[in-house]
Amino acid sequence: MRARPARVGGAMVIFGCIAGCGHTLDASVRPDQLGSKYARITGYMQTGALAAGGTSTEETPGAIRHDVLLDEATLVKVAGETCADVVVRTASGRDEPLAQLDPTFTLDGEEARGVVESEVVSVYDYDFTGSREVVGVEGMAADKLVSLSVRQPEEKVFRVIERRGRLCAGRGSRSEVRLGLEHPSWIVGAEVGGDAYELDFRWRVQ
């Protein structure tokens, strides 16, 4: 599940995908940069490129900025144990505790379960304008179908749940750390095997 082709990256965060792959977000960091902005990777949950209909990315309604759903991971420790601070922002209907996102580390090629050390939940509401039907008429006039629909603006709220926490594996890493998060129920094409919304982060410690 986690062993997918990676995006090609250089220094810091660079994005790019090999044809047919899932999506991995990359950063190259020095040991003295752990826990800093240089060890932070950002991205959005999405399905792999081979999902039914192609890649799907979580979206916002109306004119709400896409970055209200931006997720983050910062590598903070690799000696003794490996830990990353994560921020996962999801529409309220898709919210899940961090432990339910199947956090999985791959440390120098070996998989290790991610454990939630701490978690803080915040709720943010964003107003946007939609529309609702206030008059709807449909009938027959002589030999013609008559239809009338009138809509008016309606204020709506898009609720985002933000979960901040530290995820740790039980041992350290020497040169490469990967962290995978996968939504347990947000799946495209579930009837044919499906492709879940997920995030894959990779740090190269140099």
Global pTM reads 0.76
State residue 8's pLDDT score. Answer: 30
d(C-alpha 103, C-alpha 189), whole Å: 23
State residue 155's pLDDT score. Answer: 79
| Any domain includes 155 | no
| Any domain includes 54 | yes
> How many domains in the chain?
1
| Any domain includes 193 | yes
State residue 168's pLDDT score. Answer: 97
Q: Residue written as tokens 């399905």?
A: 47
Beta strands in 38-114 (DSSP E): 40-43, 71-77, 82-91, 104-107, 110-113
State residue 151's pLDDT score. Answer: 65
| Any domain includes 5 | no
State residue 111's pLDDT score. Answer: 95
Q: Are 182 and 87 in contact (CB under 8 A)?
A: no
User: Which tokens belong to 159?
Assistant: 């609720």
| Any domain includes 144 | no
pLDDT in tens, the chain (206 residues): 333 333 333 333 323 333 334 578 999 999 999 999 999 999 999 987 655 566 788 999 988 999 999 999 999 999 999 999 999 999 999 999 999 999 999 999 999 999 999 999 999 999 887 655 555 556 555 566 666 666 666 778 999 999 999 999 999 998 999 999 999 998 876 555 578 899 999 999 98
| Any domain includes 101 | yes
What is the three-class DSSP state of 93? Answer: helix
Domain that holds residue 177: 12-116+163-205
State residue 39's pLDDT score. Answer: 97
How far, in Å, are 72, 150, 188 from residue 26 at the CA level? 12, 49, 25
State residue 143's pLDDT score. Answer: 63
Q: Are 133 and 151 in contact (CB under 8 A)?
A: yes
| Any domain includes 45 | yes
| Any domain includes 129 | no
State residue 134's pLDDT score. Answer: 59
